Structure 1
Amino acid sequence: MKDYTVQHKKAWEYNAYDFWVKTVGTPKERAIEDKENPIEMLKQYADYFDSYEGVKVANICGSCGKKAIPLALLGAEVTVFDISEENKRYAIEVADEAGVHIDFEVCDIMEINLQKYTEYFDVVFMEGGILHYFHDINAFMDVMKGLLKPGGKMICSDFHPFTKISDMLRLEQPTMSYFSTDIFEAEMAHARFYDAEIRKQMPKCHYRKYTISEIINSIIENGFTLKRFDEHPSWDDGRLPGEFTAIAKKEYLK
């Protein structure tokens, strides 16, 4: 595990379980919400799934299970890959309360057990802004391709690269040149919700943000066929792009 990944693990295990309870409810409360309308809990991502029943989904950096559990309720066989034991604890408790099963592998994404999971999944799914945690996007995309069966689909939704030059999502992270390739240190995503004294104690993360062309080219150059690229408005200002979703297929060998 690389030094920066160790740091990310510390950040994402800092009071994470209590954070989820405080912000999205106890596992029982969250499970009730998930069960009421799992499609609604998937939000815009539901549009990118062709089906759910029996579909094997790898939820990359799936955090507290906020999308994994709705997928499981719809019949998908979900495996979450995430670096945080605290996230796992919350997700498993919510799944138990919801009456569904999810698998949860606590690991460095770049060290996923490919002996076990090579060409195992029908769908690889990520959302919520994760690409900036990985300093080599080509290596990351190579792992994603390895997880997918031939004919499988990658749903990659992330923060729009314009966040490099504007804090349009109010994440309170530094801005820079759009074309910067620098790795920079900044607070983890939840730090802004804590009091100043606690924020000072929280471990920081080391990020690398990418341009649109870097993201698209990494998908293409790692053997995917890009099928669709959608841009979504910022939740703070609808005039600006806030997120994107790339849909890519791993083609069958000819």
Structure 2
Amino acid sequence: MEQQTSENYRAQNKKAWEYSAYDFWMTHSGPPAERAKEAVENPLRMLKQFAAYFDRYEGVRVANLCGSCGKKAVPLALLGAEVTVFDISEDNRRYAMEFAGAAGADIRYEVCDVLEIDPGRYGGYFDIVFMEGGILHYFHDIDQFMKVCHTLLKPAGKMICSDFHPFTKIADLLELEQPSRGYFDTAVFEGEMAHARFYEEPVRSRMPKCLYRKYTVSEIINSVIGCGFALERFDEHPAWTNDRVPGEFTLVARK
């Protein structure tokens, strides 16, 4: 069912992301203490392909936007980075802080709307703004989002933005069980949480929905450039379900 963009769409997304999120991470990522053992043993392995986009870690200030359960924030902190997670879900924060504590990692976690991060406190503070896992579709004005990223960075700071490839608009390449749309469709639409598919139907049908806006490659790149960044890289990655088609991308830009 199509929905119009409204002032409270972010409140609806927050409600969705706080619906049993802690229990979900416990079930699908394991208890924080178990996950911590893996992180301590090999933090670089937990960063996966993203390790290639960091020049160094020690003392680097990283803003991890929509950092969820801390799956990348904790290994970054173990490698020596000063990490601040900004995420809308208190349930996510609970799991992430337990994970960090068990791993002996020091992270800061701000439960807030990313678009309302205090520029007086965090403007020009970070060396790197990092996001991954598919977050752009939660923001219905991509220019507004990119301006926040630009504001958070120091001069010459770097943004590492990894997300679902826009081709996933037209086909369910990542098997997230979300409806396909026209590539150039700009509508805001209501859809399930990405992890709703892991629940039995009685629970799945009760889960709050999110309001999404999906972007094209050109919309993303033009927003990055238009907000004052210098684009350095745009890498495409194969879908984890089919290595013949793109499923994700990573964009690197400099302030």
**When the two structures are superposed, what TM-score results if normalisation uses the length of structure 1?**
0.97
Q: Does 1:193 align with 2:198?
A: yes
Alignment of 1:53-202 (within 5 A): 53-202=58-207
Shift of 1:189: 1.1
Aligned mates of 1:176, 1:168 — CA distance in 2: 12
Please list every run of 5 or more consecutive structure 2 residues that lacks an aligned counterpart in the other structure: 1-5
Counterpart of 2:226 (choices 221, 227, 246) is 221
Q: Aligned to 1:155, what secondary structure does the other structure show?
A: strand
Q: Aligned to 1:239, what secondary structure does the other structure show?
A: strand
Cα deviation digits, residues 9-63 of structure 1 (max 9, x gap): 1111011111101111101001001111000000000000000000000000000
Shift of 1:2: 3.5
Aligned mates of 1:166, 1:114 — CA distance in 2: 38
Cα deviation digits, residues 135-175 of structure 1 (max 9, x gap): 00001000000000001000000000001100000011111
AA aligned opposite 2:130:
F
Q: Aligned to 1:5, what secondary structure does the other structure show?
A: helix
Aligned twin of 2:213: 208
Aligned mates of 1:173, 1:142 — CA distance in 2: 28
Counterpart of 1:234 (choices 223, 234, 239) is 239
Q: Aligned to 2:249, what secondary structure does the other structure show?
A: strand
Aligned mates of 1:173, 1:83 — CA distance in 2: 22
Aligned mates of 1:208, 1:227 — CA distance in 2: 25
Q: Which runs of 4+ in 1 moved over 2 A?
A: none
**When the two structures are superposed, what TM-score results if normalisation uses the length of structure 2?**
0.97
Q: Aligned to 2:244, what secondary structure does the other structure show?
A: coil
Cα deviation digits, residues 38-89 of structure 1 (max 9, x gap): 0000000000000000000000000000000000000000000000000000
Shift of 1:247: 0.3
Q: Share of identical aligned residues, percent?
A: 68
AA aligned opposite 1:16:
A
Q: Aligned to 2:242, what secondary structure does the other structure show?
A: coil
Q: Aligned to 1:201, what secondary structure does the other structure show?
A: coil
Q: Kindly report the root-mean-square deviation, in angstroms, between the aligned alpha carbons of the 2 structures.
A: 0.8
Aligned mates of 2:179, 2:119 — CA distance in 1: 35
Please list every run of 5 or more consecutive structure 1 residues that lacks an aligned counterpart in the other structure: none
AA aligned opposite 1:150:
P
Q: Aligned to 2:46, what secondary structure does the other structure show?
A: helix
